[in-house]
Amino acid sequence: MHLNMLKCKIHRATVTHAELNYEGSIAIDGNLLDAAGMREYEQIHAWNIDNGERFVTYALRAEEGSGIISVNGSAARRVSPGDLLIIAAFVGLSEAELAKYQPDLVYVDADNRITHTNHSIPKQAA
């Protein structure tokens, strides 16, 4: 049996561009891709914190240190510059692989600069 687990995420990234007529995808600052362990052309899920829209596309590498989060193609209709996104990728793992499994979590500021990373999400309190 394989379980579909969170591989990595970039938390609260700010959309810098929405390019309807650019070939589809999300261009992501290469530093963020590397920190999260996302690969160019990997399938990603994006969740818009501001309007609740959710979509699936793939990652493209933007210039390292640029802070770019550009949502392109039809997905550009689901965001506006300034919106906050959670960008995540998933991986299928066997029961044996779960023993050493940890997701890579990247947290960013309003300029899409890394503030910190983690490998677990704090337990939610009541």
Tens of pLDDT, residues 29-54: 999 999 999 999 999 999 999 999 99
**Helices (H), ranges, the chain:** 30-36, 95-98
C-beta separation of 38 from 28 below 8 A? yes
Instruction: Answer yes or no: is pLDDT of 22 > 80.
Output: yes
Answering whether pTM is above 0.85, one says yes
Side-chain half-sphere of 57: how many Cα atoms within 13 Å? 21
Q: For the chain, give the percent of residues with pLDDT over 90.
A: 92
In this prediction, residues 100-111 reach a mean pLDDT of 97
Residue-level pLDDT at 82: 98
pLDDT at 1: 85
Report, as residue numbers or ranges, the catalytic residues. Answer: 25, 58
The residue ranges of DSSP E strands in 2-124, in sequence order, are 2-14, 17-19, 25-29, 43-48, 54-62, 69-72, 84-94, 104-108, 114-118
